[in-house]
Amino acid sequence: MSAPREIKLLAVSKLHRQKRNCRTHSKKQISQIANSIRRFGWTYPILTDESYIILAGHGRYDAALQLGLREVPIIVLSGLKDAERRALALADNQIAANAGWNRQLLAEELGDPRNVAARVRSQPGNNGL
């Protein structure tokens, strides 16, 4: 296991999209991410290579643009080969999608799932989260 990586702030204008990014984000999802950032702050930095090409976090990048942010938190992953960068990008997107839910615990945590969206929207500062 390697040493912990440093999180640093970087101007949004210095970031570059990964041309081979396979993941897509709808406008609705970008707004949801933006609302989450607005409500909870940055909980997961954008991952880049040494040239500030985004490896993981295109949705968070788009949300930052939507919010008009000047800086975003990033972690620079240095020394990766091209194949490693591509594998990381794919894995970062797919691993979460492979997860499941413990439906009993989820129901206990949220109550009736049909009411969750209404409860979240009704809380101050949660415009569409």
pLDDT at 113: 56
Show me where the domains of the chain are located.
1-81, 99-129
Structure tokens at 21: 């990014």
pLDDT at 1: 46
pLDDT at 96: 72
Degrees to nearest 5, angle at CA 24 with 21 and 30: 120
Could you tell me which CATH class the domain 1-81 is placed in?
Answer: alpha beta
Helices (H), the chain: 27-40, 58-67, 82-97, 103-110, 113-122
Quickly count: other Cβ atoms within 10 Å of residue 88's Cβ: 16
pLDDT in tens, the chain (129 residues): 465 688 999 999 999 998 877 778 889 999 999 999 999 999 999 999 999 999 999 999 999 999 999 999 999 998 889 899 888 888 887 777 777 878 787 777 777 655 655 555 555 554 544
Does this model's pTM top 0.85? My answer is no
